Structure 1
Amino acid sequence: MLSYVRALLLVAIMLPVLADGRTRKYKFNVAVKKVTRLCYTKPIVTVNGRFPGPTLYAEEGDNVLVEVVNNVKYNVTIHWHGVRQIRTGWADGPAYITQCPIQPGHSYVYNFTITGQRGTLFWHAHILWLRATVHGAIVVLPKPNVPYPFPAPQKEEVIILGEWWKSDTEAVINEALKSGLAPNVSDAHIINGHPGPMSDCPTSKGFQLTVDSGKTYLLRIVNAALNEELFFKVAGHQLTVVEVDACYTKPFKTDTILITPGQTTNVLLTADQGAGSYLVTASPFMDSPIAVDNKTAMATVHYTNSVATADLTTTNPPPQNATPVASKFIDSLRSLNSEQYPARVPLTVDHSLLFTVGLGVNPCPTCVNGSRVVADMNNVSFTMPTTAILQAHYFNISGVFADDFPGKPPIAFNYTGGGPKNMQTMSGTRVYRLAFNSTVQLVLQDTGIIAPENHPIHLHGFNFFAVGRGLGNYNPNTSPSKFNLVDPVERNTIGVPSGGWTAIRFQADNPGVWFMHCHLEVHTTWGLKMAFVVDNGEGPNESLIPPPNDLPPC
């Protein structure tokens, strides 16, 4: 095992020109700690004993080194969600995609540079269901003396949304996989680790944000929930959206934001109301007949000149199926597209892809109903390999993956209708290969084989532009006429609407192996995932760097 000091020396040798800022060093100790939520105490896996985990701070251009030490019985990896990882795919983190996991009692130094990014991202475990408790924010500040492109806030606050199970989450998913049925939903939603008062635990305390009247606060909101899209509201206050997924947006005001698992949203909150306390809510959005945890997490915004017993101004969260509220928010998002922060949307397309995303049913003689629910892209339920795909790609190891992932559905059908008679999917470790710097248009099409459902899709290694969306089936002849190629929102995670489609564009300017998957953890577990292999370009600056010596073995 490479020592930490030697790892730092290796970093200096391997990355002499990538960073133009300073080096930030962190140490993450992954260990078990007992915590109490909903009047119930249980041991959970944490980082540095904190839930949510510590916030990682850096500036644009900084080199970041994080030594992750695994002190639990599970294999562990950490993904730096939204970090572009230019040529540093070895630090991306998804287990068996870019690395084999860190085994119990071992460590690994993640080494990456924040290149051309600033804003809010987050980190989380990328193996099993450990993400439920192993997660935290990443705050990337602008370079020194570079101001925000919006009024400077007086204070900033990280707000992490999530879910809480009373039972062990690994037991929850393992039981579901054994039965072939869907797993139990969570017992509560949480804001910064706390659900707020609940009927089954009225003494449960919620998070409180204390504000000074007249000041403006930048809320860095992260949805770290495993399986649910969430609405976020602050009673009596408007929120000004200024950034999503570490990309600046044209500012707009709203009283409700929608944020899917894997997404981040920065909003300005001005304390312009009277003295008192104001309810903050995080509640689920699901416009299809799928079971979800319908409990609303509650926190408060409390004005400093108020007495502790001040009246609470409340708000009603949107209904669970409030599609118009969700659509209005999504349609309001636009890239800033300024001279300093242009929207470089690919205007020509080398690869025009159509991926169906949805659920299927495969035979399972040992399961409850003789079958199991699966998930897929283009009818392929992804099979995780036992050797990391990036290693197989870099060292030309045969037999690990096939680069024949279909660029369109194998069989065309009415995608948002009832679906084909045969609901069975294929299985395989199949990737789609891209030449360096090629451009991609990808249409993500929901299917109604079992039921239409929202799918937040996350692409590793890239930002992309969401150029269009619609309900029903994508029509290649008419749908592109409504594409926004001027200032579409730039993201790393996008929601595919229930019974509809989303079109994204990106340039494959980052060599390596890049995972793409649904950020509903249950769907990823069932196989709704694939990977792109981007070949090296010309010369070392367009090529994947060699793997570090402490890369975990399989």
Structure 2
Amino acid sequence: MSRSTAVCIAVAAVLLAIAGAEDPYKFFTWNVTYGDIYPLGVRQQGILINGQFPGPDIHSVTNDNLIINVFNNLPEPFLLSWNGVQQRRNSFVDGVYGTTCPIPPGKNYTYILQVKDQIGSFYYYPSLAFHKAAGGFGGIRILSRPRIPVPFDEPAGDFTVLIGDWYKANHTLLRRVLDAGHRLPLPNSILINGRGPGGASFTVEQGKTYRLRISNVGLENSLNFRIQNHKMKLVEVEGTHTVQQTYSSLDVHCGQSYSVLFTADQPGQDYYIVVSSRFTTPILTTTGVLHYTNSAGKVSGPIPGGPTIQVDWSLNQARSIRTNLTASGPRPNPQGSYHYGMINTSRTIILQSSSGQVDGKQRYGINSVSFKPADTPLKLADYFNIGGVFRVGSISDRPTGGGLYQDTSVLGTDFRSYVEIVFENPSDIVLSYHIDGYQFFVVGDRLIYYYCVFKSFQYNVVIIMKYRMDGGQWTQASRNGYNLRDGVARSTIQVYPKSWSAIYVALDNVGMWNVRTEFWSRQYLGEQFYMRVYTNSGSIRDEFPIPKNARLCGRAAGRHTRPL
């Protein structure tokens, strides 16, 4: 079948399926290829979408239907996933291998998504084969409907800012290192919108206010973002309007997205935009340029410094981020109420990061289980009732204290339950965790009293930091310190070293949903699982049927998406 014929068939099928619908539709055709990129001055094999690195932005409005026809021109299977876009009642198109069959080389797949009851700043990324280390990511913005008030004036400009750590080595080499059971070294640098030091530039007019949508699309490092001589006002976090507080710099952990406003209120010249790594030695730093249209000169002076290894500074900033309770806009609505702290939870789930050797190779996991992909996407196995692919309950909802082992880990939960989840991080690094299909309320976090040693063999330096924090390990008494009024609702939560973070989440989205660390080498080596949110109602009010155009693979191959 020719490519033009495939496009016509896909569009015709979609148009027939959506006839009579009221919400707007937006159509995209994306060609995914390898191409030469030079973000750090050396040639690399990057993943391009329509020839672009990073890929094109998606601009949408609440409740828009997005029809994204993806042609995979790579010599290997490929999938895109949508970080923070909830896919209400439709985990079939979540775009991770536990839910969606990969797009084979030379084939295409049309994602049919709806940004239902959402606003905010998000991004997409490739979810298979460590492709994220080669590119294939881009920004997603979801604007409020025109009649819905937004708690700030419309800015003069709206920029996507994708920041992330980067390796000079191709992703295929990095993948071989991981497959051999070894850890990756420190990344080589940091990119801003796919460009290395000095490459990214944003043009503004003096006196006007602009919005930056900042997402950390990197592989492992928390990053600090700042603009020389400018303050930033935080206004939105992953779909939630926030209390508008002003910051001179902002920590953005792996997988997280923030929106800030800043005013070009300085004398007309160019200024540094700085992104630097947190909690690493050495500190990785990259710069971009904020260019005034009336600039009288290029950037000058020393690059403005920022926080480095101060964990307590980052924790205090995170605690200062709160929901704007007076703002309009979609938000999680547990059991018909916005008062999330007044609803009793029915279950407490404690998820502890795990690390160890399995068959002589480095692996990671959660509650002692390192995720092992099955031969069939778990959602398809569940839908077609195919036995032997996974077992509900193959991961405990409490740390077991046992050694690390591999399994296709699936945690069973009940539809419409309201649960407390505690993420525990016994390691010496900052981790962040994401739950596909959901926003959750951040209610608590603590740092434990501990010593942390940072070593830099390059500079022959050993730094010992001693933190005395409140709280200790999580216990039921820890709930006394929860924020039960205006905790921010988001989809990715950071967990500091030797620490814990707690969330409340209303499990109102039926499906098979990926729960993972955003520290990407650990995710690749097993620090993830799937949460099955289940109901036997069979009603399309609870879950959409499998898409007619769903790819079927593994043991689901040859089956029908609809009864004959």
TM-score > 0.5, shorter chain as reference: yes
List runs of 5+ in structure 2 lacking aligned partners: 332-337, 449-471, 555-564
Do the aligned residues in 2 keep the contact of 1:117 with 1:140 (CA within 8 Å)? yes
Q: Secondary structure at the match of 2:242?
A: strand
Separation (CA, whole Å) in 2 of partners of 1:310 and 1:285: 24
TM-superposed deviation, 1:12: 5.1
TM-superposed deviation, 1:36: 1.8
Change in 2 beyond 3 A, CA 1:339/1:330? closer
Q: Secondary structure at the match of 2:86?
A: coil
Separation (CA, whole Å) in 2 of partners of 1:508 and 1:11: 29
Separation (CA, whole Å) in 2 of partners of 1:174 and 1:310: 41
Aligned residue in 2 for 1:521: 520
Separation (CA, whole Å) in 2 of partners of 1:505 and 1:474: 18
Do the aligned residues in 2 keep the contact of 1:209 with 1:300 (CA within 8 Å)? yes
Q: Which moved more, 1:381-390 or 1:39-48?
A: 39-48
Give 1:314-463 correspondences, 5 Å limit: 314-319=303-308, 321-338=309-326, 340-341=328-329, 343-345=338-340, 347-364=343-360, 372-404=361-393, 405-411=395-401, 424-447=403-426, 451-463=427-439
Residue 500 of structure 2 corresponds to residue 512 of structure 1: no
Give 1:122-137 correspondences, 5 Å limit: 122-132=123-133, 133-137=135-139
Aligned residue in 2 for 1:241: 234
Change in 2 beyond 3 A, CA 1:383/1:293? farther
Q: Secondary structure at the match of 1:7?
A: helix
Q: State the AA in 1 paired with 2:523.
A: T
Residue 228 of structure 2 corresponds to residue 232 of structure 1: no
Separation (CA, whole Å) in 2 of partners of 1:471 and 1:185: 25
Give 1:38-117 correspondences, 5 Å limit: 38-95=40-97, 97-117=98-118
Q: Secondary structure at the match of 2:476?
A: coil
String of CA shifts for 1:464-510, please: whole Å, max 9, x gaps: 01111112353333100011111111111110111100001111111
Aligned residue in 2 for 1:207: 200
Aligned residue in 1 for 2:121: 120
String of CA shifts for 1:430-486, please: whole Å, max 9, x gaps: 211122111111000112xxx422111010011101111112353333100011111
String of CA shifts for 1:212-245, please: whole Å, max 9, x gaps: 1110000011111111111101111110000111
Separation (CA, whole Å) in 1 of partners of 2:188 and 2:328: 45
Q: Secondary structure at the match of 1:542?
A: coil
Do the aligned residues in 2 keep the contact of 1:235 with 1:313 (CA within 8 Å)? no
Do the aligned residues in 2 keep the contact of 1:4 with 1:109 (CA within 8 Å)? no
Aligned residue in 1 for 2:153: 151
Q: Superposition RMSD on alpha carbons, in Å?
A: 2.0
Do the aligned residues in 2 keep the contact of 1:250 with 1:333 (CA within 8 Å)? yes
Do the aligned residues in 1 keep the contact of 2:119 with 2:144 (CA within 8 Å)? yes
Residue 268 of structure 2 corresponds to residue 275 of structure 1: yes
Q: State the AA in 1 paired with 2:355.
A: L
Change in 2 beyond 3 A, CA 1:86/1:16? farther
Change in 2 beyond 3 A, CA 1:403/1:109? same
Q: Which moved more, 1:352-361 or 1:111-120?
A: 352-361
TM-superposed deviation, 1:7: 3.5
Aligned residue in 1 for 2:496: 497
Q: Secondary structure at the match of 1:269?
A: strand
Separation (CA, whole Å) in 2 of partners of 1:45 and 1:108: 17
Change in 2 beyond 3 A, CA 1:480/1:99? same
Q: Which moved more, 1:76-85 or 1:345-354?
A: 345-354
TM-superposed deviation, 1:16: 6.7
Do the aligned residues in 1 keep the contact of 2:161 with 2:212 (CA within 8 Å)? yes
Residue 187 of structure 2 corresponds to residue 186 of structure 1: yes
Aligned residue in 1 for 2:462: none
Q: Secondary structure at the match of 2:230?
A: coil
Do the aligned residues in 2 keep the contact of 1:436 with 1:537 (CA within 8 Å)? no
String of CA shifts for 1:240-292, please: whole Å, max 9, x gaps: 00011122111100011111121110000111111222111111112xxxx67
Q: Secondary structure at the match of 2:294?
A: coil
Q: State the AA in 1 paired with 2:419.
A: V
Aligned residue in 2 for 1:140: 142
String of CA shifts for 1:345-366, please: whole Å, max 9, x gaps: 26211221111113223341xx
Do the aligned residues in 1 keep the contact of 2:311 with 2:496 (CA within 8 Å)? no
Q: State the AA in 2 paired with 1:190.
A: L
TM-superposed deviation, 1:14: 5.3
Do the aligned residues in 1 keep the contact of 2:274 with 2:303 (CA within 8 Å)? no
Separation (CA, whole Å) in 1 of partners of 2:282 and 2:12: 48
Change in 2 beyond 3 A, CA 1:44/1:357? same
Separation (CA, whole Å) in 1 of partners of 2:223 and 2:356: 25
Change in 2 beyond 3 A, CA 1:393/1:531? same
Residue 283 of structure 2 corresponds to residue 294 of structure 1: yes
TM-superposed deviation, 1:115: 0.8
TM-superposed deviation, 1:398: 0.6
Separation (CA, whole Å) in 1 of partners of 2:440 and 2:92: 21
Do the aligned residues in 2 keep the contact of 1:68 with 1:108 (CA within 8 Å)? yes
Separation (CA, whole Å) in 2 of partners of 1:52 and 1:515: 24
Separation (CA, whole Å) in 2 of partners of 1:44 and 1:142: 34
From 455, 465, 468, the counterpart of 2:444: 468
Separation (CA, whole Å) in 1 of partners of 2:354 and 2:148: 43
Do the aligned residues in 2 keep the contact of 1:381 with 1:527 (CA within 8 Å)? yes
TM-superposed deviation, 1:337: 1.9
What TM-score does the superposition give when structure 2 sets the normalisation length? 0.88
Q: Secondary structure at the match of 2:43?
A: strand
What TM-score does the superposition give when structure 1 sets the normalisation length? 0.89
Do the aligned residues in 2 keep the contact of 1:185 with 1:292 (CA within 8 Å)? no
Q: State the AA in 1 paired with 2:430.
A: N
Identity of aligned residues (%): 26
Q: State the AA in 2 paired with 1:445.
A: E
Q: Secondary structure at the match of 2:245?
A: strand
Q: How many residues align?
A: 517
Q: Secondary structure at the match of 1:40?
A: coil
Separation (CA, whole Å) in 1 of partners of 2:499 and 2:542: 36
Aligned residue in 2 for 1:201: none
From 165, 175, 200, the counterpart of 1:163: 165
Q: State the AA in 2 paired with 1:59.
A: V
Do the aligned residues in 2 keep the contact of 1:279 with 1:313 (CA within 8 Å)? no
Aligned residue in 2 for 1:200: none
Q: Secondary structure at the match of 1:85?
A: coil
String of CA shifts for 1:49-73, please: whole Å, max 9, x gaps: 1111100111111100101100011
Separation (CA, whole Å) in 2 of partners of 1:20 and 1:453: 47
Do the aligned residues in 2 keep the contact of 1:117 with 1:247 (CA within 8 Å)? no
